[in-house]
A and B are shown apart, each in its own frame.
Chain A
């Protein structure tokens, strides 16, 4: 799960900032509020660039290095923006023994990106995930919220084609 920071400039809007400040004000006094705040912040911005971490640091009075430490610890937090279509290939055990590794390799090859990466046009991002728990459909992948199950390597092209235009 790549944690390299991105070259994409930060484009946060004031509406987003306002929403974030509201979330922080709501949760600030809860015990252990940092994780829920970060989760909401990622919902708002789609990722957690350093600029967003700074806002949280200032408002919650938590050192930036601690926030950065938490963000980089958990695989669901991302320092990079995600693609318009987020592809996750399940590499849980049930999917793996049924060949999801080959599907994942084929996608890396087709899209020319590695795990955690995003295509230059911002269209597709690719990641491996650990078991979404629909093992009856193994092997499977998801594109945003759409689930594709009982796959073979040959299905990769037709799935990508669906999102091509």
Chain B
């Protein structure tokens, strides 16, 4: 394929197919489509076995001509994986087991009656089956970046084309000048989704204009999603890889680059594989390569794998790594727009940022700017994790409150526990306490309360999580991931970790807390790159909102959440203890003594605080404080 007409033919042929999945009156070759999630979450819980079982069963029943199996990307509700949806009904089967498949095939695919007891229970109310869009998890979501995830087969470029794929590229190449493209992105108000929130259009404009007559420029994609607990970029790459390729080509046209690189984490094998397939298909269809759509514009994309270094998510470190070096950041200026990859003008955007671009081109800047808050436009994808019912991916308009995301969409905290904090921004971000649950989420509001958007990881913590321990956890991460190039980060974070460790051991003093805070500001001001400049944030935000927990560790020598081992003391309630001797038998240190049918006691000097006795006690007589 080379021409616009040919693209149109494919689009029209495929539109009937993909439309079956949004409204039932489509002209699909098949009666039904069965979509099975092939994202990392569902694959880990066994979705490939489901697909095998489906294939066998359809073959046995002679249904292969009538039912199409589509392996898609992530639907978002990872907690309920593996997930399967049957269209045109839109029946949502959750936690599917391969043993269930014969029943679903027989009753639903042959007789047309969805198997109610296997459907996601929120979609079933009495005799009625609700549409997925009406469930609490999906109702308040608005999908722009994730629009094709869980809808199309990411390994089939024609399904992407059927969803208006590569239409935006066609539009910019045939109807717009590079300056018009940049102006559209500027007007849309799109800001970088990787964390910093720098206006994307400004970045592009700089790269277009700052160096006149550059012989080569580059477009890079940051898919080195390093924040633990964030997986939105992975889901876009797994569920809709072509949107990234298309957007990078658009960026190439806008700034005048002919080569792109995607730097992706090697920890994401499925994403890497889907990208490889997507790049190959795009080249075969002439959507990457020389003279795209018969115009003068040529653009190609190479894939580079990371090797497990968090700092490579920083823009200059990422470029140094693509060049084949230790991924250490470089001082700025010069900024990448002037001297980036291989010393040439370069733009680097994150996956989710790119995923918005084709929609902005097709629907216009005003459409995008109509969503969100005054300074943060559009939507944002969050990866909900930790102590929350509906772990998974959600996309909401900017300005949605944390309460809506956690309580309504996320379904609240399990086991009747109390919300303590939400952590956003990963190791660069902070913890947001309950008192700020009603602040509309956008870039500026999160910074004003001491956290940051980051790439969109949102980890919920309940009363059982110790905030000093969480701060220590993040500092351990930063110490491990600091590249070592600049002193404030290399040595400073290590000293911070040591102080936190001392506090969690019950050896800290009030003076240590002051020193810790002072050191935070030094490191923030003096580190070379974003990693060091933001590394103290988890400590500063927990000091700001949970100082009482620090003080409890230092003054009372207690860990209020019962996490920090050294500060725990185990006790047996003599009234509850029946003298069954279970605890004494299981104690690895021989610290528990007592005779049969008499209350036992724990020798605190011998106790290792392993908790084995609590697990074994049937009477709930042992407590840790």
Contact = CB atoms under 8 A, between A and B. Distances in A.
Given A32-B324, A93-B457, A129-B267, 4 more contacts: A34-B324, A93-B386, A131-B231, A135-B229
Contacts of A31: 323-324, 342
Contacts of A66: 325
Interface residues on A, range: 35 or more
B391 A39 contact: no
A33 B324 contact: yes
Nearest to B480: A1
A93 B308 contact: no
B41 A138 contact: no
A137 interface: yes
Contacts of A17: none
A35 B264 CA distance: 13
Interface string A136-153: 111010000001010000
Complex A-B, nearest 4 residue pairs according to Cβ-Cβ distance, in ascending order? A136-B78, A92-B228, A94-B385, A74-B307
A138 B228 CA distance: 12
Interface in A106-165: 129-138, 140, 147, 149
Contact of B81 (A39, A75, A98, A136): A136
Interface string B319-345: 001111111000000000000001000
A92 B309 contact: no
A4 interface: no
A81 to B, nearest CB: 18
Contacts of A96: 228, 473
A70 B312 CA distance: 13
A68 B310 CA distance: 19
B493 to A, nearest CB: 16
Contacts of B136: none
A29 to B, nearest CB: 13
A93 B327 contact: no
A137 B45 contact: yes
Interface of B: 40-41, 44-45, 78-81, 225-231, 234, 266-268, 304-310, 321-327, 342, 383, 385-387, 391-392, 423, 426, 457, 459, 461, 465, 470, 473-474, 477, 480, 483
Given A35-B307, A97-B470, A136 B324 contact: no
A36 interface: yes
9 contacts: A36-B304, A39-B266, A39-B305, A69-B326, A73-B483, A98-B386, A131-B267, A133-B234, A136-B80
B170 to A, nearest CB: 30
A110 B267 CA distance: 26
B309 A134 contact: no
A134 B324 CA distance: 29
B41 A136 contact: yes
Given A92-B229, A97-B386, A74 B268 contact: no
A55 to B, nearest CB: 17
Contacts of A132: 40, 44, 267-268
Contacts of A16: none
Contacts of A75: 307-309
A75 B481 CA distance: 9
Contacts of B80: 136
B243 to A, nearest CB: 19
Contacts of B266: 39, 76
B402 to A, nearest CB: 17
A63 to B, nearest CB: 12
Given A39-B266, A73-B483, A140-B44, A93 B324 contact: no
B78 A32 contact: no
A45 interface: no
Interface string A15-51: 0000000000000000111111011000000000000
Nearest to A66: B325
Contact of A70 (B304, B325, B480): B325
Given A93-B229, A98-B387, A134-B40, A32 B323 contact: yes
Contacts of A73: 309, 326-327, 483
A15 to B, nearest CB: 24
A132 B387 CA distance: 18
Contacts of A91: 228
A77 interface: yes
A135 B391 contact: yes
A73 to B, nearest CB: 4
Interface string A78-98: 000000000000011110111
Nearest to A32: B324
A93 B228 contact: yes
**Chain B CB within 10 A, most for which of A35, A75, A147:** A35
B473 A94 contact: no
A34 to B, nearest CB: 4
Contact of B41 (A77, A92, A133): A133
Contacts of A35: 304-305, 307, 321-322, 324
B231 A135 contact: yes
Contacts of B385: 93-94, 135-136, 138
B394 to A, nearest CB: 12
Nearest to A97: B386
B150 to A, nearest CB: 14
Contact of B423 (A32, A93, A135, A136): A93
A76 B308 contact: yes
Contacts of A77: 307
A6 to B, nearest CB: 19
A65 to B, nearest CB: 11
Contacts of B323: 31-32
Nearest to B462: A97
Contacts of B234: 133
Nearest to A147: B44
A94 B386 contact: yes
Nearest to A30: B302
Contacts of A134: 40-41, 44-45, 78, 231
B342 A136 contact: no
B321 A93 contact: no
B251 to A, nearest CB: 20
A136 B37 CA distance: 14
A128 B461 CA distance: 22
Contacts of B474: 93
A39 B307 contact: yes
A130 B306 CA distance: 13
Contact of A131 (B229, B307, B392): B229
B280 to A, nearest CB: 17
Interface centre among B225, B226, B231 (most CB of A within 10 A): B231
B406 to A, nearest CB: 14
B41 A70 contact: no
Given A76-B266, A136-B78, A97 B465 contact: yes
A30 to B, nearest CB: 8
Contacts of B45: 134, 136-137, 147, 149
Nearest to B44: A147
Contacts of B229: 92-94, 131, 135
Contact of B459 (A94, A129, A133): A94
Q: Chain B CB within 10 Å — which of A35, A66, A74, A133 has the most?
A: A133
Q: Which of A38, A74, A135, A149 has the most CB of B within 10 A?
A: A135
